Each structure stands twice: as structure tokens, then as C-alpha cells.
Chains A and B, each alone.
Chain A
Amino acid sequence: MSLATTQSIAEIRARNKELIEEVLKVYPEKTAKRRAKHLNVHQAGKSDCGVKSNIKSIPGVMTIRGCAYAGSKGVVWGPIKDMVHISHGPVGCGQYSWGSRRNYYVGTTGVDSFVTLQFTSDFQEKDIVFGGDKKLIKVLDEIQELFPLNNGITIQSECPIGLIGDDIEAVSRSKSKEYGGKTIVPVRCEGFRGVSQSLGHHIANDAVRDWIFDKLEPEGEPKFQPTPYDVAIIGDYNIGGDAWSSRILLEEMGLRVIAQWSGDGSLAELEATPKAKLNILHCYRSMNYISRHMEEKFGIPWCEYNFFGPSKIAESLRKIAGYFDDKIKEGAERVIEKYQPLVDAVIAKYRPRLEGKTVMLYVGGLRPRHVIGAYEDLGMEVVGTGYEFGHNDDYQRTAQHYVKDSTLIYDDVNGYEFERFVEKVQPDLVGSGIKEKYVFQKMGVPFPEMHSWDYSGPYHGYDGFAIFARDMDMAVNSPIWKKTKAPWKEAAKPKLLAAE
């Protein structure tokens, strides 16, 4: 199916450029001009991918992006398990984001853990008209009464909160005082702020800084004896258990993980993080802010890593070990060696089934680049990629470390563009989100859901790589893709009806 593998780089470049021109034709002039800046064909040697990013989406185009609330409640705060997160406003936002991100945790749900509960102040018209602070006060009291073992509460603002002028900060302060200094965190993540989920991540990071770090007692007794090997995992949301299959490697190499941000994380772990010797950062996009803050304020260095696929895992383990002594460096080598037979067996089994297959990606924070190595370990080639809410620093990292020459790059792609690109490029696999999944499957293109790993995971670490390989194989090589055409009908290439 892949056209890409049989073409020269120059041919692919020409085809991709033509494709971009063609796609832009559908737009009114003003829109075409704006969208042109977000689409490009990557040129090897350039320091970024040559696209504009983190700019407002264009109305009416069916952007795939979400909002700041999704970035704060859905991504950063939601997984903190021992705190209650109130979706503050009308019922919908909390309802649609309820349990859909598969942030695994261990705890007694409804008693000491609350991740898969949907708490909402369920705004009614009167709350909009007269303000919602009174209701918020009542809601906080009721949470204290009904869920006495919660270790803290966050208030995740939905759109109306910022529009009706509620003072959730004042409510938080007074209620915190009333409950003897309880951690109550107001988060101004109204959905209309910023241009995507991304500002929600930033706002959520800032809320940790202002309402948790800044309230720590400087002379507070550590809850545990520090060691020189204490690290914190930052930006792993434990989707399908990702943080666990990462943590085990770090501990096997001799480090001690004192906090997980935020998958299977707890308030105590957030509070303990300033004691870490190194912050290791997986999702740069969503948590670089707090990492930089901890570097400035507490002098904790941070390093990015990538636990998708054995090549990047080994590289990352060595990079992390580089911050420590020989004991840890030896530990890293020991871990790499230990898992080598597993890696060899996984690659021996799956690579022959996947070799040469092409992939197009369109995902969120780190995956448009981070998973490329894992695909390459399996002999697959990523021929197109883009970020839902990336910034220029993401595209720089992508250009400098990940994508190949002539890769098609699409920032904030919309339904129309993405369908056209896939239709013409004809990759063997498209990896994106649930809104895209069924579109491409209808077109006969295999599709793993790469936001929350469909029903699967973990994908991080060596254990996760085996699952990743299995899942990609079962997507690409499912027998059903040979049966999409009725035998009495002529086989046709994927096509779509929209805008024909």
C-alpha cells in the first residue's frame, strides 16, 4: 500500500508540497493564508519543522484541539488520586472527561482515592445569574462531610466561572483556613483561555507553584530520609500503567522515585518533589513549566527522557544516569542488559511483520515525536506527524532529533486536511485520537488510538514496548482490512465524501 517506500526523497517532497497546495484550495483566501503557515514538508538540517504553532485555531474548520480545562483537569490535575477535583460549572465538561483518559491508580475509590469519580457543581441558571461562589462553598463543605479522607481539593474552572466574575480564590483561601490549612487549589482553566489544552497545562503548573509549593513550610520535616538517588517522574500520566512500567526501570538502576507527576500521584508526592535530586521529564509540553520553576527556586536540575522503544529507552537511561555516580551508571547498563533478550525477542517476532510499513501520526504533547523511535525499532517509518497543541520548542526537538527529510508536517490539523493527507499518502497506519479513529477505519486504514492507548497499555518502558509492538501488529495485520471491499465490487483506494 505504501507509496512512500518506493519513491525517492525528492519525489516525496514534491508530492507532499503539491498535497499542501491542493488542500489549501478549499479555504476562503484569508483562511488559506493562515493555514499555509501550519503545513510544511520537513527539510533535513533545519532547526525546526518550519511551521507556526500555538496559534488560535480557525473557527469552523473542525480543529481536533480541546481546551484549557481539558489540559488542567483532564491532563495535569485529574490523575492526582487523593485529591477531589471539582469540575466547577455546568455538568458537561466533567461528564465528557470522566474516566476517559485511563489514568491508572491504586486506592479505594470513593474513600481515599477519587480519580474515577465525577465531582461537579452542576451549575444551573441561577448560579450564572447570581454567581456561583455560594454554591462552591456548599460543595466544599459537602465534600468534607461525605469524603472525609480526601487530602485536598482542586477547583477546575469551566468557561462560565471567568465570565461571571466569581472569586474562587477568595473562597479557597477562606475554606482552607476554616479546615485547618487544608490544601484547596483554585485553577483558572476556563476553556476559552488560550488556544488549546496547552495553556491549561501551564495554568495547572502555576497552580501547583502558587497553591502547593508556596504554602510549604520551609523548615518542614521531610516525611522520609532523603538519599542522593531521589528522583521525581514528571509528566507521566500513568495511562494504562505507563508510569509504573517506567518507575520499575528507574528503581532497578538504583534510583529512588519519590514522586509521580501526576499519574498515580498524591498530594504528598507533589509536596515532596522539591527534595528530589533530579526531575526527569517525560511530557515536556505539559510540565516543563514546573520543572523550570523547581530548577530556579530549588536548584533541581531536570532532564527530558523518552521511554518509548528500546533505542530511546537505553539512550534515556544512560542520559539520566549521567547525572549520578558510577553506581547508577552501572545500574543503567545492568538494566539495559537485563532487558536485551526481551527486546531481541520482541523485535524478532514483530519486526518482520511490520518492516517497511508507514505511519502518520497526529497526537498531543510529546507523542508526535516520542513514539517515532519505537516505530523505527520495529522497522516502521513515520511519514507524517503533527501536534495538536505543540509550541515551537516541540517542533525544534522534532526536527533536530526525530523526523526524516521530507516528512509531512501539519500543526493543528483539522478533519478535512488530515483526511486528504491520509487519502493521498496512503500510510499503512494512522495513530491519532478517538475522534479520528473511526474516520480512518472506515477508509480501511488501521488505527491505534494513541492518546490513551485504546484499551491497552502500558507502552512506556521495556515491558510496555512488547505491548506496543503487539498492538501495532494487531492493528496493521488484522485480517479484517483485507475484507473492506465486497468481492463483487472493484477495489478502490480510500476516499471520503466530504467536500467532493
Chain B
Amino acid sequence: MAQSADHVLDHLELFRGPEYQQMLADKKMFENPRDPAEVERIRAVTKTPEYREKNFAEALAVNPAKACQPLGAVFVSVGFEGTLPFVHGSQGCVAYYRSHLSRHFKEPSSCVSSSMTEDAAVFGGLNNMIDGLANSYNMYKPKMICSTTCMAEVIGDDLNAFIKTSKEKGSVRRSSTPFAHTPAFVGSHVTGYDNALKGILEHFWNGKAGTAPKLERKPNEAINIIGGFDGNTVGNLREIKRILALMGIKHTILADNSEVFDTPTDGEFRMYDGGTHVEDTANAIHAKATISMQQWCTEKTLPFVSEHGQDVVSFNYPVGVSATDDLLVALSRISGKEIPEQLARERGRLVDAIADSSAHIHGKKFAIYGDPDLCYGLAAFLLELGAEPTHVLSTNGNNVAGENATLFAGSPFGELPAYPGRDLWHMRSLLFTEPVDFLIGNTHGKYLERDTGTPLIRIGFPIFDRHHHHRFPVWGYQGGLNVLVKILDKIFDEIDKKTSVLGKTDYSFDIIR
């Protein structure tokens, strides 16, 4: 018996002892196991170009790197002050969104559902909506309830009419109740972000579902910023706010969830925290321009904003020197404010850092996967570092770039090897048949790291198995520095690992790198 009170062994070590190993070996006879040689043979087959070809012909999705629309809707909704997302559909979906967001941010995630069951599926969910809104309103006193859909979309519940009826029945007295249709079988979480944000703006700008006059735009000097779906939303939005403050630009962050996903532990649970004020959301119509940090998270929202007479500009997850340059120049152009010297110095420091370290990164091959904007932003940064983005894969890329278009058609980097609409089992084939030095992606990439030996650098969503990185920015010059350090740390750890065999490879085990 290996267990002891002095040195408690948990799953990391307990099962490696001889007693458990024997037990597991004996268990095999009941499992009807495959012949180990056959397992080895098939494992080898899965690494081949022939397997890759079959793999790429598939309709099946294995380890996709995307989630469904309502997750994005919940993510964007909680970025508004005192807002409770209300998902019209089965309650299991909401349990999943909440746990998914909680596991990434290590934060509470509040959201309710209309708990539709079989009878609601047959007769429609109107009563669930009426009762649900009344309960949520009484219990959680939201300033706003943002209603989106899940299963209800299949049976065609009419959210607009339902909310109207609920209001007539007195379910919700003072809260605003914007809504958006967010079917899980269209697009992905970035689509849901877009739909829900547009739904919220539409509500406040276009007359609150016929209950108020439409707002008339009276242009002012402010700029609206939309962050998009982003695992690093906490760090990134704070960094953007810092930059805007340095430049002295009046602004509204639309869907500012940087507080609610980063509340302190001080004895108080803040179900709502921070967020864009309701009045600011309405007044955002008067802004001079709206800037989207992620083009493919705002495909419908930006045209909607543009129709109201604002300038709109979008970026693709700006990481690194040029992307930040472009952002600052655009901010300066739109606002008429100068870019302060402090930001120029920050730029210089990032360039300095890249120059210092370039020898270790130049020519290294990278595979990247994630949401389309994230892929684009990281690929652009890698090119600045002299690295080669060899595979760029985005499961939800096809929804934004069209079935046959490559992800980066028209990009300034020329033809990048982009794989829109592909999953991580495809990436596995790519990594076996055309190996790279490093992989950048979310937590699920660890399976690829294990299978293919490609070291994983964790950037994206979700990240469950490393803590707190979402609190740091990856946008702007400061964010670029963070990404650079993250990549370098992994590179140096790998070099050390490969050169640490005593008397064999440790001549290269340098203390100066």
C-alpha cells in the first residue's frame, strides 16, 4: 500500500504503484482489448498522408474549435450594467454556458433559462417566458434582461411577440428587454456575440421595441469600441481603456465585461459588476465612429451602426507592432487626437524586445487555430517576428469567409495556408504530415501536443488548464510583449528540455540564451 497520511498520493501518483498497475493489467481480460500490435499499426496509419486525405473528406466533426451562438450571446450580454442573460430554451444549455465560462475565467457566471421541457416543445414556450421573466425580475433585479434562444429556435418561438406579451402581463416592469435570435445550428459563438450585440443596440436605438421614439443621432466626439468574443477580454479591454485614456479620447466600450469576469474576493459576491451603462448604450448612437476589434464578431452589428451614420472601422484582433500601429493611427485620425509620446515609447520597447529575441523565433514554424480574428491577429504578429505561420485553422472560419474562400483571402500577407471550417482532428493530420515547431491554441490543443509532440502555447478560448492568463492583455504594444514572452518562454523551455541529457546533449545546455 503506497498511500500514507504523511505524504498523500492523489491520481497523479497513486495509480502508478505496482498494486494498481497489476490491477489494471488484470482488468484488460474483461475489456476484449484490441491486439496491441493492431493498435500500434492503426496509430501509425493515422499519421499518414493517406489518412489525412480521408480525414479531410469528412462531414463528421472531431474536436471542433468552436462553440454555439448562445454562449457568445451570454458573453456579450453580461458586458452591460446589471444585465441578466435569459436563454429561452432547455435549462441544460444554460448550465453548460455557465460552467464553460466559469471554468475559463475562474469566476461566477450568471444566466437563467426558461426551462422549456416536453410540453413547451409541443405547445410553445410562451408561458415559460412569462413566468421566467417575472421570476428573474423579482429575484435578481436586473436593469436589463437580454433574451436569446436555444432550442426554442427549432420550434420557431417568436421572441419579440413573447416579450411583448410578457410585458403586458406585468412580468417585467422596469427592465429593458432586448432580444436576439441565436440558433445553435447557425454559425458559432462569434455569431451569437454579433446577433446579441446588434439586438441590444437595436433595442435602445430603434425605439425599444415600439415603446419609445427612435433615437435621433446627434453626432458627438466619442468613439465606441467593441471587443468581440475574447478569452482575454479582461486584460484586453482594460488595455484598450488605458490607451484611450492616454490619448484623451471620449469613448464607450460596448459590452464591457472586463469587470464582471474579474471580481475581487473580499467577502462579497457581485452578481453584476461594471458593464456598459444603459444610458451610455443608448447614447452610443451619437458617437463619431464605432471601432470593432474583431471584424468577424461584428459582421451584422457594424453595418447596423453604419446605417445610423457613424464611421465604422474594424480590426482583426490586433496583436503586435503593425496591428497596434494601425489601431492607434485610426484612433488618432477619427478623434483628431495625437498619439502621445508614452505610446511611442511603448512601441519602441516592443520593437526593442523583438529585436533582442528575434534569433530564437526567426524561421520557426507555427500552427495556429482559434476564432478567425484571433488566427489572423496572431498570424500577423508571427510574420513580424520572422516566424512562419504554417497552418492556420479556424473551425468557425467558414461561417465568416464563405465555404470556399480561404480565411485570409485579400490579406496583406498573401496566401496563407488557411483551413476554414476544419477541426482539431484535421489539425492532427496536418501536424503529422507537415510538422511545425510550435502550436498556438486553446486548452484542447493539449491533446495535439500529447499525440504529435508539438509544444502548445496557450492563447485562445477556452483555457481551463492554466490560470489567470486572461487577466493580461494580448492587444496593443503591451499585449504584444506578453505574447512575445509567452512564445519565448516555451521556446526556451523546449531548448532546455532537448539539451538537458547529462553527458549526451548538455554541451548546449547554455546559461546564456
Contact = CB atoms under 8 A, between A and B. Distances in A.
A28 B135 CA distance: 7
Contacts of A192: 90, 116-118, 120-121, 151
Given A111-B42, A499-B140, A433 B99 contact: yes
A349 B27 CA distance: 34
Interface in A58-113: 58-70, 82, 89-93, 95-100, 104, 106, 108-112
Q: Find the residue from A116, A191, A457 having the highest chain B CB count within 10 A.
A: A191
Contacts, number: 376
A119 interface: yes
Q: Find the residue from B8, B58, B60, B67 having the highest chain A CB count within 10 A.
A: B60
Contact of B32 (A104, A266, A349): A266
B467 to A, nearest CB: 11
Contacts of B43: 108, 111
Contact of B110 (A191, A348, A415): A415
B62 A119 contact: yes
Given A31-B135, A95-B68, A438-B107, A63 B11 contact: no
Given A82-B31, A443-B267, A485-B267, A60 B131 contact: yes
B63 interface: yes
A268 B28 CA distance: 10
A266 B31 CA distance: 6
B361 interface: no
Interface residues of A, number: 136
B390 interface: no
A345 B265 contact: no
A302 B71 CA distance: 42
B5 A91 contact: no
B272 A125 contact: no
B271 A498 contact: yes
Contacts of A121: 59-61
B266 interface: yes
A15 interface: no
Given A192-B151, A342-B1, A442-B270, A119 B61 contact: yes
Interface residues of B, number: 109
A89 B92 CA distance: 14
Contacts of A433: 99
Given A66-B96, A139-B59, A434-B102, A164 B11 contact: no
A463 B107 CA distance: 31
Contacts of B343: none
A93 B14 CA distance: 32
A69 B92 contact: yes
Contacts of A95: 64, 66-68, 100
B134 A91 contact: no
Nearest to B129: A59
A297 interface: no
A138 B185 contact: no
Contact of A61 (B112, B183, B425): B112
B263 interface: yes
Contacts of B183: 90, 125, 128
B268 A495 contact: yes
Given A67-B92, A492-B267, A127 B34 contact: no
Interface string A335-347: 0001100100110
Interface string B243-286: 00000000000000000000111111111100000000000000
A458 B14 contact: yes
Given A160-B154, A163-B151, A30 B131 contact: yes
A111 to B, nearest CB: 5
Contacts of A350: 5
Contacts of B6: 345, 349
B267 A494 contact: yes
Contacts of A298: none
Q: Find the residue from B4, B132, B135 having the highest chain A CB count within 10 A.
A: B135
B508 interface: no
Interface in B384-432: 425, 428
Given A109-B447, A142-B59, A499-B139, A435 B102 contact: yes
B19 interface: yes
Interface in B141-155: 141, 150-151, 154-155
Contacts of B272: 497-498
Given A139-B59, A159-B151, A65 B95 contact: yes
Given A272-B30, A497-B272, A59 B131 contact: yes
Interface of A: 26-28, 30-31, 56-70, 82, 89-93, 95-100, 104, 106, 108-112, 116-125, 127-128, 135, 138-139, 142-143, 145-146, 148-149, 151, 159-160, 162-164, 191-195, 197, 223-224, 240-241, 244-245, 247-248, 251, 257-260, 264, 266-269, 272, 338-339, 342, 345-346, 348-350, 414-416, 419, 433-435, 437-444, 456-458, 462-463, 466-467, 469-470, 484-486, 491-500
Q: Which 4 A-B pairs have the closest CB atoms?
A: A67-B92, A59-B132, A60-B132, A92-B68
8 contacts: A59-B132, A90-B184, A146-B55, A247-B23, A260-B27, A438-B108, A485-B266, A499-B139
Given A59-B113, A342-B5, 15 more contacts: A60-B86, A60-B139, A65-B92, A66-B92, A95-B100, A119-B62, A122-B64, A146-B51, A162-B121, A163-B151, A251-B26, A419-B269, A435-B99, A443-B269, A458-B14
